[in-house]
Every structure is written in C-alpha cells, then in structure tokens.
Amino acid sequence: MADLDKTDRTLLRLLQQDGTLALAELADAVNLTTTPCWKRLKRLEESGILRQRVALLDPVKLGLSFTAFVQIKTSNHSKEWYHSFVETVAEFPEVMEFYRMAGEYDYMMKVQVADMSAFDQFYKKLVNSIEGLTNVTSTFAMEPLKYTTALPV
C-alpha cells in the first residue's frame, strides 16, 4: 500500500465524497493552509493515486437503467487475439467495466443500457465483432443494492 499519512487519507476520502470541494475547503478540513494542501494533492496526482476527478451520473435518470453482467469463455488465448479482443471491447461505450478473470469464465464485463432490446443489439454487435468466443453468458441485475466508487482508504 502506498505510504499515506492520516491527512492524505482524509483528503482522499473527502474527494471521493465530493470531487468539487474547493482547495480552501479541503485545506480547512485537514487543518492545513492552501499551499501545503495543494502540494499534497499534486503529489497524490503525480504518484497516480489520485487518477482523475469525474462527475458520476445517474443511469436511471439518463434512461440507462438496465445492467447486465456478461461472462465470456474463449478457446483462443494468444497474445494477438487478446490484444484485438481488448481493443474491440474498449470501443463499446455500453461496457462500464471489463475484467480478465480466473475461474470458469475468462472475461467478465458490466454493461449499462436502456433495456433488453438495447442489450440484444449490444450482444449481437459484440458476438459478431469477435472471433473465437465459445460461450457468452449474461445475467441481469434486478435492483442495485450497493454502488460506490469510493475505495476504503
């Protein structure tokens, strides 16, 4: 784990809760003046711990309330196929998360779309874009029970 002190951890927790906090608010919350607080934030950014600051959108309010988890098996594990597969999947804006797995399935992705019809279109586009898929299994979320982007720092 990175060498973080209590102040660094507090700054990271605050930013995970609200990335729009002003420097002065952050500095005040950790009992620093703005310059040392800014230097800490800069160090966290330069080290890659603080990767980026983003806005989190509500998928339901945007009409994207259908969440699918897609598990994939393949018979092709060559380096070339892998790179092609990753590049192809990365182009799908519906894919929110994408993992190479250990266990029964080789890959898993989280897909966010409007409805079953939109998922069907995504599915057809996916399986027709990639050779060598031997099994594509999908499960669908009924209700989100917990969602967070905040890491336990």
CATH architecture for residues 59-141: 2-Layer Sandwich (3.30)
Task: For domain 7-47, give its CATH number from 3.40.50.1170, 1.10.645.10, 3.30.70.380, 1.10.10.10.
Answer: 1.10.10.10
Query: What is the per-residue pLDDT for 107?
Result: 98
The CA-based diameter of the chain, rounded to the nearest angstrom, is 58
Q: Is 83 helix (H, G, I), strand (E, B) or coil?
A: helix
Query: What is the per-residue pLDDT for 63?
Result: 97
CA pair distance 85, 100, nearest whole angstrom: 11
Check if 7-47 and 59-141 are the same fold: no
CA pair distance 127, 137, nearest whole angstrom: 11
Q: Is 135 helix (H, G, I), strand (E, B) or coil?
A: strand
Positive or negative CA dihedral for 35, 40, 45, 46? Answer: positive
Annotated domain spans of the chain: 7-47, 59-141
Query: What is the per-residue pLDDT for 1?
Result: 57
Residue 55: both structure tokens together: 């806005």
Q: Would you write out the chain's pLDDT as a tens digit for each of its 153 residues?
A: 578 999 999 999 999 999 999 999 999 999 999 999 999 999 999 999 999 999 999 999 999 999 999 999 999 999 999 999 999 999 999 999 999 999 999 999 999 999 999 999 999 999 999 999 999 999 999 999 999 999 999
